[in-house]
Amino acid sequence: MAQSSAGKHPAVQGWIKRGKFPLGTSALALAAALTWGCSPSQTQSVATASYEAQLAQHLTQSGSVMYGAYWCPHCADQKAMFGEAVNQITYVECAADGPQAQPELCKAKGVQGYPSWEINGQLLPGVKSLEDLATLSGFQAPQ
């Protein structure tokens, strides 16, 4: 069976009639991936991380301290709010068997529950939202 052109091959014609275009499918997948990768939620998470880092730096520079215990689930929740910026906050381990423990300091400061924040000389027990920490410490994010 002779063919007049490469585009007339029966297999190619079958693909065209059924609307199956591998190249078109690949293009759609690529477009979807690019659209998802540039979605506002992705952009927002980058901006949020920047805010967290700025707040953590401000808390440290202003002398604010988080007191907690390695086994405390509320402390873990508080730390998680900072994401990767958690390493920038000043943290004091109060559990005697915890890493770099300072239970004497916690006792001297009057820490009775975890987590507790010391901000502007005031001891504040409980998990605090990032917004509350910003307000309590006088942080204003750059616009």
Read off the CATH number of the domain in which 61 is found. Answer: 3.40.30.10
Interatomic CA distance for residues 1 and 5, integer angstroms: 12
State pLDDT tens for residues 73-104. Answer: 999 999 999 999 999 999 999 999 999 999 99
Q: How many domains does the chain have?
A: 1
In this structure, the number of other CB atoms found within 10 A of the CB of residue 103 comes to 16
State pLDDT tens for residues 5-40. Answer: 445 555 545 544 555 545 554 444 444 444 444 444
Q: What is the pLDDT of residue 101?
A: 98
| 69 lies in some domain | yes
| 109 lies in some domain | yes
Phi, psi (degrees; rounded to nearest 5) at 116? -135, 145
Interatomic CA distance for residues 52 and 77, integer angstroms: 14
| 27 lies in some domain | no
Note down the domain range covering 54: 48-137
Average pLDDT across the chain, whole number: 80
Q: What is the pLDDT of residue 8?
A: 55
Q: What is the pLDDT of residue 28?
A: 45
111 pLDDT more than 50: yes
Beta bridge partners of 65: 118
Pairing of strands 122-125, 116-119: antiparallel
